[in-house]
Amino acid sequence: MPGSFAAAGRRAELVAWYRGHGRDLPWRRRTDAYAVLVSEFMCQQTTVAAVIPYFERWMAAFPTVRALAEADEESVLGLWQGLGYYSRARNLHRAARAVVERHGGEVPDDWDALRALPGVGEYTAGAVVAFAFDRPAPVVDANVARVLARWMDLREPVDSTAGRVALREAARALQPEGAGAREINSAVMELGALVCKPRAPLCLACPVRGGCRATEPELLPVKRPRAAVTEVTERRAFVVDTAGLHLLRSTGRWRGMWILPETAAGGEIAHVERYPITRYRVRMEVVRQSPAEWSGLRAFGWDEVPSIPIPSPHRRAIEALVAKGRAVHREGHDEV
């Protein structure tokens, strides 16, 4: 059949390459399903290099499903602080509790049962089946999508319905009959990370270049056009007294984390922090206010601030304002 995907015939070369060149990542040293689940949650939309230190700290703090299930949300968010996409932390926490309640504390080996856990989508369910239990499952992350799109010369956007279907079927065709899913799926991912890179793919070093149909691999994968960036401005209060820094427990975007409260007050802008968030570009203007103008805030001593969960842009603004405060103090004129 013209256009059929013949990657299955290249499994041996791919796995041989992986055995020689695959990286020694912390979660590849273990196959217990809980460790796989944690690493997969952390790796969602996040680079491997950023995840490694978080993974090590997490596994030390919460070594088992039960340990995580019994933890409180504050410490869970604290360990996740700085990784972004905090709903992953809340979902992983809920997933651990669901595993205890529904499955007696054992992470299930069944795709549908996995998929039913909070925060577990098609990708993560497949990853746990393959990496923890070494059973066949399509595992399509951004690396695999890029490798397969080039391999098949797929011109359909990989984030369209048609593109996703094509990729899932190709990934399915790549699976071995019995054992070996762990290695083959790891190998395709690793090929994407090390050789079949987003820009400037190293085709001369590719173990499957003989089977690749891409004529212009650097132009693949095709993606749907992205939404335009919108500028937004918000104003927040920096509230400090002798008790320390007064923060608000967020109920919105950064639910459960501690943030600078939004304010309508005018006055001098003490600091401007700019940060991107998905399709927005936020200009955060910070003004100094006194606790008398607020209720519902909680004061933290300055020694506590480093260890509580605060989203990165807010933490950066706080650090900048503290530095400015110190500078004023040094100059000796505290007419702030």
| 26 phi, psi to nearest 5 deg | -55, -40
Distance of CA 132 to the CA centre of its chain: 20
- Judged by CB under 7 A, does residue 48 bind DNA? yes
Pick from 15, 69, 77, 120 the residue near DNA by CB under 7 A.
120
CA distances from 310 to 43, 119, 136, 145, 245 (A): 21, 22, 40, 34, 12
Is 56 annotated as catalytic? no
- Tell the smallest beta-carbon distance from residue 118 to DNA (Å): 5
- Compute the distance between CA of residue 53 and CA of residue 38 in angstroms, rounded to an integer: 13
Q: Which of 13, 40, 169, 262 is catalytic?
A: 40
- Tell the smallest beta-carbon distance from residue 296 to DNA (Å): 21
Which residues between 70 and 109 bind DNA (CB under 7 A)? 82-87, 91
Q: Which residues of 22-52 are buried (b: 16+ CB within 10 A; e: fewer)?
A: beeeebbeeeebbbbbbbbbbbbeeebeebe
Nearer to DNA, 16 or 202 (CB): 202
- Judged by CB under 7 A, does residue 198 bind DNA? yes
Pick from 68, 149, 187, 189 the residue near DNA by CB under 7 A.
189
Nearer to DNA, 270 or 310 (CB): 310
Nearer to DNA, 27 or 62 (CB): 27
Helices (H), 62-197: 65-70, 73-80, 87-103, 111-115, 122-133, 142-152, 161-174, 181-194
- Judged by CB under 7 A, does residue 44 bind DNA? yes
Nearer to DNA, 81 or 175 (CB): 81
Which residues form the interface with DNA (CB under 7 A)?
25, 27-28, 39-40, 43-50, 82-87, 91, 118-125, 127, 141-143, 146, 160-161, 189-190, 192-193, 198-199, 223-224, 226-227, 229, 252-254, 275-280, 311-313
Residues labelled catalytic: 40
